[in-house]
Amino acid sequence: TDEAANHDEL
């Protein structure tokens, strides 16, 4: 799933 790609939140 795309969330795993890059966690852009702190």
**Which residues touch 9 (CB under 8 Å, ≥6 apart)?**
none
Least distance from other proteins to the Cβ atom of residue 1, Å: 6
Least distance from other proteins to the Cβ atom of residue 2, Å: 9
- Between CA 1 and CA 10 the distance in angstroms is 19
**By CB under 8 A, what part of segment 1-10 binds other proteins?**
1, 3-4, 6-10
- Between CA 9 and CA 5 the distance in angstroms is 12
Least distance from other proteins to the Cβ atom of residue 5, Å: 9
In one-letter notation, the amino acid at residue 10 is L
**In the complex, which residues of this chain contact other proteins (CB under 8 A)?**
1, 3-4, 6-10
